[in-house]
Structure 1
């Protein structure tokens, strides 16, 4: 149970990211994906630097000596992923985007097993398959014909690029062991903002105009998916590994479906069953079930 707090962080990170799919779709109807990405990291950088200063008290000169890898993470995970995501949402729905994102854990496991040589038990692999099956059940409403007929448009292809970028970000980010997680996130956010500034100057003729709903949506994106999810993800991946943590990304489409329901759509039995399957799969992959089974066997031997 020592990693329980990290699994809670990962679940919250997925919940916040699910909200990003919903509100991000609304915001890119008012501003460009580039503008939204810039504004997101501009304000997130300020918050992350303040939090890092209070919690971790870094020596910033020493931190920025690792600027090459931090800049890579900024371009890759902060700019690249979000540009691909928000551009995808201009062509596809949040549900379609979240369906494609469900492929991320499998991709992360495959890459991690090769690059980091992370290993998973058979039970954990079964958990990944089970949770992915739950995601597919929810998003296809139990119809294989609907899955076969799914039209992978430009937005869906961009989501494939997005999850590939996020996989690289997660694996490379784990190598920043000399820089504490919140500080690394803050430094990358600062570099992402600076890197995007010339592009924003070139778009000076296209002002950022948001209505009240748009401003509230941006505030949500800054505080929760950007600051909250990024800190929770980086903290957790360093402790339990990218491949194992990646299974919680299957929760994003589940939460996306539930948020959609809260916005007025009816919940179905398929969504309930699929959601339970995903949570069961995440629980299995976390190793908590395996630990309980091991304790049960040990107690059984003691009784004999």
Structure 2
């Protein structure tokens, strides 16, 4: 049974902190590398780093081949499509829209669990999703929720909505009932299979970007350092931690932790700019934690 203990909280928070760093690095790379090229270089670098540890997963006798359909989907949803859609959405959508739509992750988790896995959502989980979404809104509007009334929908919003749905589906597949979980595989092999297969999907998308003439990469010491960080931290370490966290807490509860990403991003940005955290940061943190607490069965929290 999933348990939200200290180790699981550590894994999920580590993933969200690194993904907040990914958001800052991604913004810094705008204009230096095109969205799909960034995804391809990111995962290509990650694959080269991880292959020496996980290459055995591709041997003929590996259980990967009995689960090839599952890994084709995991690679497409979690590595290929999600990142391409996210970076592409940022080209036309505002940061507020992208983050707010991404904050609907717990709602998608509940819906996918109910429709495809017959996991009926509890009333407290739905309340927790709304409370957590409110916390994200406080961060993005800096405490002025009336800002939300001026939001306008663009094509990027539809892309991030699709990306959010795919990530929710990916998270459910990591620990879906009746399927082998990450704990039953060598961790390096499990992640290597996802990254290499996801890189194959990304290569298809990159072909279209190159053919359209929109691919570009200005590689220098600065961009190379940022790409290396993205390949190691938000890719290898964060995906490993997220997999551990999802298997520990379950996909629905884990989804609430993703709403820490905009909070950590705001805090990191404030630190870089020399601005102290505001009261709205504390309010947002309290709301997000409250959403997690409300949505988690008390029996799971008892072991903290």
The TM-score normalised by the length of structure 1 is 0.83
Number of matched pairs:
291
Q: For 1:75 and 1:29, locate their aligned partners in 2 and report how far apart those are by CA, in whole Å.
A: 26
- Structure ID, larger Rg: 1
- What is the DSSP-based 3-state SS (H/G/I as helix, E as strand, rest coil) of the residue aligned with 1:113? helix
11, 17, 41: which one aligns with 2:13: 11
Q: How does 1:110-259 map to 2 (within 5 A)?
A: 110-119=111-120, 121-175=122-176, 176-177=179-180, 180=185, 181-197=187-203, 203=210, 208-259=217-268
The SS at the match of 1:151 is: coil
Q: Which residue of 2 aligns with 1:44?
A: 46
- Hey, what's the Cα distance between the residues in 2 that align with 1:18 and 1:121? 29
Q: RMSD in angstroms over aligned alpha carbons?
A: 2.9
Three-state SS of the structure 2 residue aligned to 1:263 is helix
User: Does the 8 A contact of 2:124 with 2:295 survive in 1?
Assistant: yes
Distance across 1 between alignment mates of 2:203 and 2:123: 47
Contact kept? 1:284, 1:290, Cα under 8 Å: no
Instruction: Answer yes or no: is the 8 Å Cα contact 2:5–2:301 preserved in 1.
Output: no
- Tell me the residue number matched to 1:298: none
Residues 25 and 86, structure 1, Cα contact 8 Å, conserved in 2: no
Aligned to 1:63: 63
CA distance in 1, matches of 2:93, 2:168: 21
The alignment's TM-score, normalised by the length of structure 2, stands at 0.83
Does residue 290 of structure 2 align to residue 274 of structure 1?
no
How many angstroms apart in 1 are the aligned matches of 2:207 and 2:141? 43
Q: Structure 2 unaligned runs (5+)?
A: none
Q: CA deviation at 1:42?
A: 1.0
Deviations 1:230-280 (A, max 9, x none): 111122222332112111111111112112211214532222211222123
Aligned-pair CA distance for 1:17: 1.2
Q: Return 178-187 or 35-44, whichever deviates more.
A: 178-187
In the alignment, structure 1 segments of 5+ residues that lack a partner are 296-304
Q: Which residue of 1 aligns with 2:35?
A: 33
Offset of residue 283 of structure 1: 3.8
CA shift for structure 1 position 182 = 4.2
1:52/1:280 CA distance change after superposition, 3 Å = farther
**Are 2:25 and 1:23 equivalent residues in the alignment?**
yes
